Amino acid sequence: MRQSIPDEGKYLAIDQSTGRYYVWDTSVIPLQDETTAYLARLTTQPTAIQKAAINRLYYDLKRAGILSKLDGLWVGISTSRTDARLNLAGNSLTLTEHGDISFNATSGWTFHGSDWLDTGLNPGAATVHYGRDSASFGALVAGASNSGVFMGGFDGVSGLTLSRTDNILNGRINNNQLLSGAISPTGTTLFSVSRTGKNDAVLYCGNEVVERNQVSSLNLINSSVSIGRAQEASGWYTSANICAAFAGAGLSETEMFALNDAVQRYIHSFRQTVASGAWVQTPFSLLSPDSVESISSGIVDRKTTLLSNAIIAYDQYGDIARTKADSTGIRALDESTGVIYEPSDIPDAVLSETTAFIARMTTIPDAVQQVALNQLIYLLKKDGVWDALEGLWLGVSTSYADSLLNVVKNKFNLISDNAPSWNQSGGWTFSRSGMTWLDTGFNPSLAAGKFALEDASFGALLFPPAGMTATGHIMGAFNGTDGMALAPRPSQATSSPMAVRLNQGKAYMPGDYPVANAVYGVSRLNGELAVYREGLLLGSTTQTATALTNSNVLLGCSQKTAGYHMFDGAIGAAWVGASLTAKQMLTLTNAIRRYNDVFRSRMSPDASWWSPTDRRMYSQADIIAIAGNKTGSSVLEPPASEATVSADISLALSEQGQTYRGGYIEIQPDSFIGGTEPATDSTTELWGFPHSLTLSEQNRLRSMMLPGNGYGIHYIRLPLGFAYRGFRNIDTATGLAKNIGERYAGQNAGLKRLMANIVDAGGGLAPEYWCPAPYWMTNGKYAGTPSAYNQPWAGGSYPRKTTLDSIKGSDPEQYAAQIDAMSDAMLNDFEYLHQNVGPVRMYGLQNEPQYGHELYGVCKYTDRVY
């Protein structure tokens, strides 16, 4: 998130019902050359406000790098019907009307199912920006309810189309396969499609990704693109009101969002509904004062929220701008990832570790650079990262010699017989053909330090050169059989999944992702391997370590041999050490980014530190689902190089009520087939939740349904003896289990991963017995039978069919002893769950205690035994 800084102060507002932020916009935009040229073409000159709207549109499109990519931009909301036909992106491609199209200067063109506008743009017959593998187009359609084919050109084999049926948006771009998805627009919306590669096409609804697919492009159509239809045939027209349309080269997600914002801003401004200094949603749409009021009216009594969890009342729109803030309850949300941040101060006191490191440097850093180092070390110590590290090397430093030093300790300093090139801002640049490398001198098998077989981590900040599609191995220690290796994208092949090793032979591949300027990290703990990019989880797997790495860790390669084991590109930092938690990985990532920005004077050392609250853990699939982009933004701040969000706020806090921490659900981690007794061996019917989901589905479920931030599930009801029914502590005399545990390997690990976020937030398990372990039951198993209730057993020397209730009067001593023993067994079950799955926050003695015949986990209690 970025904030503009108006003269009157740094005001920021948030609509907590949506999580959107707004700033007070007082930008002064100089007259653009394109505005002057366009005004000269108009037959009806605009008002001063309309002229400003046109000028701002050109300014926004140029600033985002979009204008130069457009072949055509046609805006129906204009000074006249004639002027609306003009192309704002150039002097050609003026629209031609066909049929009886209705026109209104404040709403654009209304079609009637048989008329259309011819753009004159023929992708297959002209040299234009719109190309086979780089193309985009779209239409701004009025109203929440609209349908038909809004725009396109289609020959039955290939082409471009954009349509809507009910709540389903469809689009195709240079092929014959539809992108499709459900939408719920609330007003005038830009529907658009963009292709940025042969196998990469995306369908958008406003600032949301509807669908992305990888269907290959086909030949360009050799006919003109139309607005209001896609071909001359029944069912290929629309009766919608269209306000604007565009076509051009492929636009990235960021560019598409910027285009939407620019056109929406133009529409609002041209209609003269925007007051001076209107609230602007960052980084997206413009909102007028009326819109602000409509947002707040849905809360309570025209109250809105400003940068905190408090509610502030206001009577007039201008009162918001005069509100000051001074609150420690500020929270910020990176909308591209869903990660929540909170600000905290970094003390000015110089740490002893900083002093010791500077004393080892040959070129002493200046005052700001020293602060950058001190802040880095402070942040790493604060979250326990510093104590986990064996080595941390910073390519961004005062000199090449100083970049070789290990910041953590005076050993394992980098050496090389064939050194990479270096510069202060970009770190070390390695060459595959030159076979350059840096040796850390750190051999995990010989160091006997914090880096252990099942407790280890390593990673690096990658600075890829422009256009890089493959990295090879950027770091590691691989002997050809096992060891360590980090290859964000090993080769230039069409499919080249990321490959990592950490004390193992077989590589783990979390997915195929584009090369990115990012901190990549790998962490291993007790058989689980997790891979991170920019502090966000890309994927994890259960994969036991095979051998502790037994060669020196290298930067720029994983072994000193030609080929993909070496790397062409730059590294800005690297580390090795013990395993890191998800929060520690995010802290390390952000701390390195902040260090780089402060050290290079790209960010003030006084800027607020925004630390993650660790309430969400996002996989790459989640990032795509949220941001629609595999290269989605990673963090809020740092690594921002611009002004960070800040505020001077004083709030009159309303009385705080109850805190909603999340919902409560039951899950079934094991199989059940009605009418049959559930399996209790370790091999039969191994399906359940979340075990039956793929790993990426599990990751997405965890982050989106169990985020641990008050917006999802907080407690999980676990049905013991039914959908969690493995055996533990087998009694030697009877052969029956006294305790319940996992039934098959990996069941506990899957549940533990599922609960990671809610456990950190204070949530956890709410186990409830459907049946205690078989040893305590008269049937000697979990299930009942049609002829025999399953009830608590009397224990001791009593026959198996003797119920506990039946001896209460005749043998009170055994009755009490059996209840104590059974209670101890239950406590053992809860402690087992606490240690192996998640903390037990509450429990239930028995599900439906009045039943006992059913062919699944049941236990019939009498009132007094219960």
Judged against a pLDDT cut of 50, whether residue 736 lies above it is answered with yes
Burial status of residue 625 (CB atoms within 10 A of its CB: 0-12, 13-18, 19 or more): middle
> For position 457, which CATH number holds?
2.60.120.200
Pair 695, 595 in one domain: no
Pair 602, 668 in one domain: no
What is d(CA 463, CA 448) in angstroms, rounded to the nearest whole number? 31
Pair 136, 259 in one domain: yes
Pair 479, 581 in one domain: yes
Residue 698 lies in a domain: yes
Boundary of a domain, candidates 572, 607, 642: 607
Most confident option among 26-40, 699-713, 791-805 = 791-805
What is d(CA 834, CA 425) in angstroms, rounded to the nearest whole number? 48
Return the minimum-mean-pLDDT range out of 445-454, 506-515, 639-648: 639-648
What is d(CA 146, CA 138) in angstroms, rounded to the nearest whole number? 15
Judged against a pLDDT cut of 70, whether residue 35 lies above it is answered with yes
Pair 102, 197 in one domain: yes
Retrieve residue 798's tokens.
């009593």
Residue 860 lies in a domain: no
The whole domain housing 434 covers 352-607
Burial status of residue 563 (CB atoms within 10 A of its CB: 0-12, 13-18, 19 or more): exposed
Give me the pLDDT at residue 564, please: 79
Mean pLDDT confidence for 255-263: 89
Judged against a pLDDT cut of 80, whether residue 568 lies above it is answered with yes
Residue 788 lies in a domain: yes
Boundary of a domain, candidates 586, 607, 628: 607
* One-letter amino acid for residue 232 of the chain: E
Residue 647 lies in a domain: no
Burial status of residue 350 (CB atoms within 10 A of its CB: 0-12, 13-18, 19 or more): middle
Residue 212 lies in a domain: yes
* One-letter amino acid for residue 146 of the chain: N
Give me the pLDDT at residue 365, please: 93
State pLDDT tens for residues 46-82.
887 788 889 889 988 998 899 999 999 999 999 999 9
Mean pLDDT confidence for 328-355: 66
Mean pLDDT confidence for 256-269: 86
User: What proportion of the chain, given as a percentage, has pLDDT over 90?
Assistant: 54
Judged against a pLDDT cut of 70, whether residue 334 lies above it is answered with no
Give me the pLDDT at residue 531, please: 92
Q: Packing angle between helix 253-270 and helix 48-63, nearest 10 degrees?
A: 180
Residue 298 lies in a domain: no
Give me the pLDDT at residue 610, please: 64
Pair 569, 430 in one domain: yes
DSSP for 330-385? Answer: --EEETTTTEEEEEE----PPPHHHHHHHHH-SS---HHHHHHHHHHHHHHHHTT-
- The whole-chain average pLDDT of the chain stands at 82
What is d(CA 424, CA 413) in angstroms, rounded to the nearest whole number? 18
Q: Which of 303, 310, 329, 321 is nearest to 11 (CA)?
A: 321
Judged against a pLDDT cut of 60, whether residue 281 lies above it is answered with no
Give me the pLDDT at residue 548, please: 94
Q: Which of 95, 139, 88, 130 is nearest to 246 (CA)?
A: 139
Pair 682, 587 in one domain: no
Q: How confident is the model at residue 653 (pLDDT cuts 50, 70, 90)?
A: very low
Judged against a pLDDT cut of 60, whether residue 600 lies above it is answered with yes
Judged against a pLDDT cut of 60, whether residue 665 lies above it is answered with yes
pTM: 0.43
CB neighbour burial string for 354-372, b if at least 16 within 10 angstroms, e if fewer: beebbeebeeebeeebbbb
Judged against a pLDDT cut of 70, whether residue 318 lies above it is answered with no
Residue 736 lies in a domain: yes
State pLDDT tens for residues 804-836.
999 999 999 999 999 999 999 999 999 999 989
CB atoms under 10 Å from CB of 424, counted, come to 17
CA 57 and chain centroid, separation: 31
Boundary of a domain, candidates 239, 270, 301: 270
Return the minimum-mean-pLDDT range out of 103-107, 320-324, 402-406, 650-654: 320-324
* One-letter amino acid for residue 655 of the chain: E
Phi, psi angles (nearest 5°) of residue 496: -145, 80
C-alpha angle with apex 108: 107 to 109, nearest 5 degrees?
Answer: 130
Residue 758 lies in a domain: yes
State pLDDT tens for residues 291-306.
333 433 332 222 222 2
CA 409 and chain centroid, separation: 35
Burial status of residue 124 (CB atoms within 10 A of its CB: 0-12, 13-18, 19 or more): middle
Contact 387, 381 (CB under 8 A): yes
Q: How confident is the model at residue 658 (pLDDT cuts 50, 70, 90)?
A: low
Mean pLDDT confidence for 543-558: 93
Question: E-assigned strands of 183-316?
Answer: 189-197, 200-205, 208-213, 226-227, 241-248, 279-282, 303-304, 312-313
State pLDDT tens for residues 183-221.
888 788 999 999 999 988 999 998 788 888 878 899 999
What is d(CA 286, CA 507) in angstroms, rounded to the nearest whole number? 48
Domains of the chain: total = 3
β pairing state of 312-313 and 303-304: antiparallel
Pair 667, 603 in one domain: no
Question: E-assigned strands of 401-449?
Answer: 421-423, 427-430, 438-439
Judged against a pLDDT cut of 60, whether residue 367 lies above it is answered with yes
Pair 241, 366 in one domain: no
What is d(CA 180, CA 833) in angstroms, rounded to the nearest whole number? 43
Element (H, E) at 760: helix 756-760
State pLDDT tens for residues 759-809.
878 889 999 999 999 999 999 999 988 888 999 999 999 999 999 999 999
DSSP for 286-339? Answer: B--HHHHHHHHHTTSTTEEB-SSSS-EE-SSHHHHHH--B--S---EEETTTTE
Pair 603, 667 in one domain: no
Q: How confident is the model at residue 340 (pLDDT cuts 50, 70, 90)?
A: low
Pair 415, 551 in one domain: yes
CA 463 vs CA 86, 115, 428, 559, 725: distances in Å = 44, 52, 9, 20, 50
Mean pLDDT confidence for 368-378: 94
Pair 357, 494 in one domain: yes
Side-chain-side CA neighbours of residue 823 (13 Å)? 8
Mean pLDDT confidence for 694-713: 80
Burial status of residue 97 (CB atoms within 10 A of its CB: 0-12, 13-18, 19 or more): middle
C-alpha angle with apex 167: 163 to 173, nearest 5 degrees?
Answer: 30
Judged against a pLDDT cut of 50, whether residue 258 lies above it is answered with yes
CA 574 and chain centroid, separation: 24
Give me the pLDDT at residue 341, please: 55
What is d(CA 857, CA 774) in angstroms, rounded to the nearest whole number? 10
